[in-house]
Chains A and B, each alone.
Chain A
Amino acid sequence: MKHILKLNVNGEDHEVLTDIHKTLLEVLREDLGLTGTKKGCDLGTCGACTVLIEGKPYLSCLTLAVAVQEKRILTIEGLAKDGDLHPLQKAFAEKGAIQCGFCTPGMILIAKAFLDEHPSPSEGEVKKAVAGNLCRCTGYAKIVEAILSVTEKI
């Protein structure tokens, strides 16, 4: 059975006619074409699908789309404001924190949510904040460096 879901994604309202059992990850990728949110496991174990809902990080593969109607959902596509990249996006690129880039959208969003709450964290706190987001390429070193580099700038 299909239903109309009302979703607010990246500041835009959408009405999506879709299956009620779909996860937010599926609706974002399949119905809204927002493929920046990645599916690394579909089981809540890798963090690649992280999005922000009302500013808080959620694993979109474990979140039913129907449950987050009328809430403000932010995906990686909505992070740059009017074409201006978020400082984290710039820092990730410039510091070499992106290799294959598959973990990147989730990493950047989890980092944003964390920095919004903790503007000047220690290195240990940053590591802990991103510990649920896996990366096989970078060894995390440059990711942590990139996140720490923007703590003053936000």
Chain B
Amino acid sequence: MSLFNVIGKREPMLDALEKATGRAKFTDDLTFPGMLFGKILRSPHPHAKILHVDLSKALKVKGVHGAICGRDIPKKKYGIVPMAKDEYALAIDKVRYIGDEVAAVVATSIEVAEEAISKIHVDYEVLPAVFDPLEAMKPGAPVIHDEVPNNVSAKIRKEFGDVEKAFFESDEIFEDDFETQPVNHAPLEPHAAIGLADHSGKVILYSSTQIPFFLRRNLATALDIPESRVRIIKPKVGGGFGQKIDLYAKDFCAAFFALKTKKPVKFVYEREEIFTSTRQRHPFKIHLKTGMKRDGTIHVQQFKAIADGGAYNSTAPLMITLACYFIMLPYRIENLLFEGCHVYTNKPVGGAMRGHGIPQVRFAVEAQLDLIAEKMGIDPFELRLKNAFHAGEPHPAKLLVQSCGFSDTLIKAAEAIGWKEKRGKLPFGRGIGLAGASFPSGVSNMSHISSGAVVKIERDASITLLTGAADIGQGAETVISQIVAEEMGVPLEDIRITAADTEITPLDPGTFGSGVTLRAGNAAKMAAQSAKEKLLEAVAEKLEVEIHQLEVKDRRIYVKDQPEKGMSFSEAIKVYQYSDRPMPIIGRGSYMPPAKEPTTLLKEDGNFSPAYSFMTQAAEVEVDTTTGKVKVLKMVAAHDCGRAINPMLVEGQLDGSVVGGMGQALYEDVLIEKGQVINPSFLDYGLPTAMEIPSITSIEVETDDPEGPFGAKESGEGTQLAPAPAIINAIYDAIGVRFKSLPVTPEKVLEALQEKKGKTY
């Protein structure tokens, strides 16, 4: 029998029926009387000076309530990472990519706003542009931001062991170059914001954000007003995957015009704007050199990773740091050097996307491991197993890994894909492959990455939970409610949750870095504990026992081993009140991931995350050698996410990640020519549909993490690291071609097959 009542149950999401009936409200579903509609004018040039913006004709259009450009807004740069602020909501001096924001208009209808936008006249002085990061790094390249003359806006160099010596000691050395493409997050819900202002100068912003408290901070900065004058409310959010982390012009403009006009103001992005002017997964160029010992030990690895950042930083320093840290796991590598940088180009902006810098480097590592295995005559599965990291082992860079099911995920994934029977044994055109990965469950040691929660026990014995965690569709509200229900000994239906309103709910960093379950879950658990203890005090007094003798389960509080001696939750509340204790019963929790032996990220060694998840993905593919099309037949996702609070939601995360990873491997590519996105629509972009999906087997390898709430770790992002390399490795098994750049399109397959044929004859 399970130890738990609510943890581990396949509970539907709390808001699933709201969504199934069309009642769930997303930002664009909200309207307010007298609401105005906004539109943004974007740059047609990849790089140009703005000489003059003439708004006069736009302002004359009937129904227009305001028009602004860069000169009208506070000269305050913002950015998601404080040390890397480089953006204005509307370009002030120059534009840096096609789609950069130049001006904005609000009007009584969207049609009027569009008409007014077309009447804005901008004088540009076109500047030379640069589109390739290697070109951008050369002396004499166009400078995109004056403060960064070499266009390298973030850098990391991390070394442990003795890399030079280790290469000398290696029996074999492998060197390869890999390349990845830009990928759009493509959340189904377009980005939207609605601003409302009152006469005291306070603004309320409804926004499709995954990070309400950071948005409050960034918006206050950009508007140049105190944080206390900004309130962010997060309605339902239709997916984010990292793209809804940043502040966008739509947020700023909705708030700015609301303050100015004292009317509600709505901005919604079109799909094309989402492709050109939000964020995308950074394309990487990676040079990877690995030194191996004859027995199959990975002795040393050296990385040179160049991330094409596009025109602005967004998360640049964090992204490149993550790329660096998560090649240190899931394998034991004693000697390592990582040199990575983020380079400005005149292209759409890179940002956090599911896995955040890691899928790119993971692809390189896993593709090369297969290559190494072949050259050294070692089975790729055995090679990974041999080098797998284990819990409690000292890590050369001092990561503290307290739970690690990596080997188990490898073994189980290999078993489920039929490794022994199939690898190298399927007919030409069919093949299997696998790849491993690791991901953090949030980041340690940063006080601004703390979560708070409040739990109230109401007079009718229901429980109210306030959390700042931002549910963007992954089910955070459900999972956190399950944690509280378990702690309180009540069924899930007794919990009412209010989430993510910066004025009502306690501070939370939001949804990123896969820290929500661990961070907000721990805060909520602490809050529940503290509320419960207050109630138990009164009950213990009444029953004349000690608090620790009491147990809470099925809405009852009773003496352990004497279930008949006790009372229901509602009786307990009466007992509490009659004992003259103060109402309401409120528990609070503030949680910061522990700072045991922390790293300073860019410099010192040390621990990065409170917990690490581990995973292996295995793929079976079929390559049509006449069309070049690759079909993924089966994917196995074995994932160590600690204890799954809700296995159904974990599976959902795995499924979504696998299919997204497949998209990255085979279909998705933001095609950019001279800075212009040439496929900014679903029609041309290549989002996987139901027709392409493989059969997916998800295997949960449960470990009990000491830091996670009830032993839970992350499950949302790590799963997107390994599908692409697993597929690429399976393609090799199928047709004997190694692809080192993504995506593997039918054209590339045909070309490679041709070339191969040429060689054989």
Q: Find out whether the CB atom of B189 lies under 8 angstroms from the CB atom of A38.
A: yes
Q: Find out whether the CB atom of B651 lies under 8 angstroms from the CB atom of A135.
A: no
CB distance from A106 to the nearest CB of B (A): 9
Query: In chain A, what residue has the closest Cβ to B187?
Result: A136
Additional pairs, 5, CB under 8 Å, beyond known A36-B23, A101-B238, A136-B185: A35-B28, A93-B13, A98-B16, A101-B236, A105-B22
A-B contact list, 5 entries, CB within 8 Å: A93-B13, A99-B474, A128-B690, A139-B652, A139-B657
CA distance A76 to B658 in the complex (A): 29
Query: In chain A, what residue has the closest Cβ to B698?
Result: A141
- Do A39 and B190 form a contact, CB below 8 Å, given A101-B19, A134-B687? yes
Q: List the B side residues contacting A35 at CB < 8 Å.
A: 22, 25-26, 28-29
Q: List the A side residues contacting B682 at CB < 8 Å.
A: 41, 43, 45-46, 134
Q: List the B side residues contacting A41 at CB < 8 Å.
A: 271, 681-682
Per CB-CB distance, the 6 closest pairs between chain A and chain B, nearest first, are: A36-B22, A100-B473, A101-B19, A102-B238, A139-B659, A139-B655
* Residues of chain A from 28 to 54 with CB closer than 8 A to chain B in the complex: 29-30, 33-43, 45-46, 48
Proximity bits, B184-203, A CB within 8 Å = 1, else 0: 01111110000000000000
- Do A99 and B652 form a contact, CB below 8 Å, given A42-B270, A134-B687, A140-B690? yes
Q: Decide yes or no whether B648 CB sits under 8 A from chain A.
A: yes
Q: Decide yes or no whether B24 CB sits under 8 A from chain A.
A: yes
- Do A45 and B683 form a contact, CB below 8 Å, given A35-B25, A96-B12, A100-B238? yes
CB distance from B751 to the nearest CB of A (A): 28
Q: List the A side residues contacting B475 at CB < 8 Å.
A: 99
Q: Find out whether the CB atom of B659 lies under 8 angstroms from the CB atom of A103.
A: no
Q: List the A side residues contacting B382 at CB < 8 Å.
A: none
Q: Find out whether the CB atom of A108 lies under 8 angstroms from the CB atom of B690.
A: no
Q: Find out whether the CB atom of B683 lies under 8 angstroms from the CB atom of A43.
A: yes
Q: Decide yes or no whether A121 CB sits under 8 A from chain B.
A: no
CB distance from A82 to the nearest CB of B (A): 13
Query: In chain A, what residue has the closest Cβ to B12?
Result: A93
Proximity bits, A87-105, B CB within 8 Å = 1, else 0: 0011011111011111111
Q: Find out whether the CB atom of B657 lies under 8 angstroms from the CB atom of A89.
A: no
CA distance A104 to B468 in the complex (A): 25
Choice from A34, A40, A142 contacting B190 with Cβ under 8 Å? A40
Q: List the B side residues contacting A55 at CB < 8 Å.
A: none
Choice from A42, A75, A76 contacting B271 with Cβ under 8 Å? A42
Q: Find out whether the CB atom of A92 lies under 8 angstroms from the CB atom of B16.
A: yes
Q: Find out whether the CB atom of A144 lies under 8 angstroms from the CB atom of B22.
A: no
Q: Find out whether the CB atom of A101 lies under 8 angstroms from the CB atom of B473.
A: yes
Q: Find out whether the CB atom of B188 lies under 8 angstroms from the CB atom of A40.
A: yes
CB distance from A23 to the nearest CB of B (A): 12
Interface set of B (CB-CB < 8 Å, partner A): 10, 12-13, 15-26, 28-29, 31, 185-190, 236-239, 241, 270-271, 472-475, 648-649, 651-652, 655-660, 681-683, 687-691, 693, 696
Q: Find out whether the CB atom of A136 lies under 8 angstroms from the CB atom of B10.
A: no
Q: Find out whether the CB atom of A98 lies under 8 angstroms from the CB atom of B681.
A: no
Q: List the A side residues contacting B190 at CB < 8 Å.
A: 39-40
CA distance A143 to B190 in the complex (A): 21
Q: List the B side residues contacting A128 at CB < 8 Å.
A: 690-691
Could you say which of A38, A45, A99, A140 has the most chain B C-beta atoms within 10 Å of its C-beta? Answer: A99
CA distance A153 to B25 in the complex (A): 29
CB distance from B699 to the nearest CB of A (A): 14
- Do A37 and B21 form a contact, CB below 8 Å, given A130-B690, A136-B687, A139-B657? no
Query: In chain B, what residue has the closest Cβ to A36?
Result: B22
Q: List the A side residues contacting B12 at CB < 8 Å.
A: 93-94, 96
Query: In chain B, what residue has the closest Cβ to A45?
Result: B682
Choice from B16, B188, B693 contacting A127 with Cβ under 8 Å? B693
CA distance A40 to B28 in the complex (A): 11
- Do A131 and B689 form a contact, CB below 8 Å, given A139-B656, A142-B652? yes
Q: Find out whether the CB atom of B690 lies under 8 angstroms from the CB atom of A89.
A: no
Q: Find out whether the CB atom of B271 lies under 8 angstroms from the CB atom of A40.
A: yes
Q: Find out whether the CB atom of B656 lies under 8 angstroms from the CB atom of A136.
A: yes
Secondary structure at the B interface, as helix, strand, loop or mixed, is loop
CB distance from A75 to the nearest CB of B (A): 7
Query: In chain A, what residue has the closest Cβ to B654?
Result: A139
CB distance from B2 to the nearest CB of A (A): 19
Q: Find out whether the CB atom of B189 lies under 8 angstroms from the CB atom of A102.
A: yes
Q: List the A side residues contacting B20 at CB < 8 Å.
A: 76, 85, 89-90, 92-93, 98, 101, 104, 108
Q: Decide yes or no whether A137 CB sits under 8 A from chain B.
A: yes
Q: Find out whether the CB atom of A141 lies under 8 angstroms from the CB atom of B696.
A: yes
- Do A134 and B689 form a contact, CB below 8 Å, given A42-B270, A99-B473, A139-B659? yes
Q: List the B side residues contacting A120 at CB < 8 Å.
A: none
CA distance A40 to B681 in the complex (A): 11
- Do A141 and B238 form a contact, CB below 8 Å, given A75-B22, A98-B13? no
Q: Find out whether the CB atom of A127 lies under 8 angstroms from the CB atom of B652.
A: no
- Do A85 and B21 form a contact, CB below 8 Å, given A99-B652, A131-B689, A138-B652? yes
CB distance from A154 to the nearest CB of B (A): 16
Query: In chain B, what residue has the closest Cβ to A19?
Result: B111
Q: List the B side residues contacting A40 at CB < 8 Å.
A: 188-190, 271
Q: Decide yes or no whether A77 CB sits under 8 A from chain B.
A: yes
CA distance A104 to B657 in the complex (A): 18
CA distance A90 to B682 in the complex (A): 29
Proximity bits, A48-73, B CB within 8 Å = 1, else 0: 10000000000000000000000000
Query: In chain A, what residue has the closest Cβ to B648?
Result: A96
Q: Find out whether the CB atom of A96 lies under 8 angstroms from the CB atom of B189.
A: no
Q: Decide yes or no whether A115 CB sits under 8 A from chain B.
A: no
Choice from B22, B24, B271, B660 contacting A136 with Cβ under 8 Å? B660
Choice from B26, B237, B651, B660 contacting A96 with Cβ under 8 Å? B651
CA distance A33 to B474 in the complex (A): 27
Q: Find out whether the CB atom of B687 lies under 8 angstroms from the CB atom of A104.
A: no
Query: In chain B, what residue has the closest Cβ to A132?
Result: B689
Q: List the B side residues contacting A9 at CB < 8 Å.
A: none
CB distance from B665 to the nearest CB of A (A): 14
CA distance A35 to B188 in the complex (A): 15
Could you say which of B15, B17, B236, B687 has the most chain A C-beta atoms within 10 Å of its C-beta? Answer: B17
Q: List the A side residues contacting B236 at CB < 8 Å.
A: 100-101
Q: Find out whether the CB atom of A138 lies under 8 angstroms from the CB atom of B22.
A: no
CB distance from B638 to the nearest CB of A (A): 16
Q: Decide yes or no whether A79 CB sits under 8 A from chain B.
A: yes
Q: List the B side residues contacting A104 at CB < 8 Å.
A: 19-20
Q: Decide yes or no whether A80 CB sits under 8 A from chain B.
A: yes
Query: In chain A, what residue has the closest Cβ to B657?
Result: A139
Q: Find out whether the CB atom of A141 lies under 8 angstroms from the CB atom of B693.
A: yes
CB distance from B234 to the nearest CB of A (A): 12
Query: In chain A, what residue has the closest Cβ to B474?
Result: A99
CA distance A139 to B687 in the complex (A): 11
CA distance A76 to B145 in the complex (A): 49
Q: List the A side residues contacting B31 at CB < 8 Å.
A: 30, 33
CB distance from A109 to the nearest CB of B (A): 10
Q: List the B side residues contacting A132 at CB < 8 Å.
A: 689
CB distance from A103 to the nearest CB of B (A): 5
CA distance A20 to B437 in the complex (A): 55
Choice from B472, B649, B681 contacting A43 with Cβ under 8 Å? B681
Query: In chain B, what residue has the closest Cβ to A79?
Result: B21
CB distance from B5 to the nearest CB of A (A): 19
CA distance A29 to B691 in the complex (A): 30
Q: Find out whether the CB atom of A143 lies under 8 angstroms from the CB atom of B16.
A: no
Q: Find out whether the CB atom of A102 lies under 8 angstroms from the CB atom of B681.
A: no
CA distance A48 to B682 in the complex (A): 12
- Do A136 and B690 form a contact, CB below 8 Å, given A36-B22, A85-B20, A104-B19? no
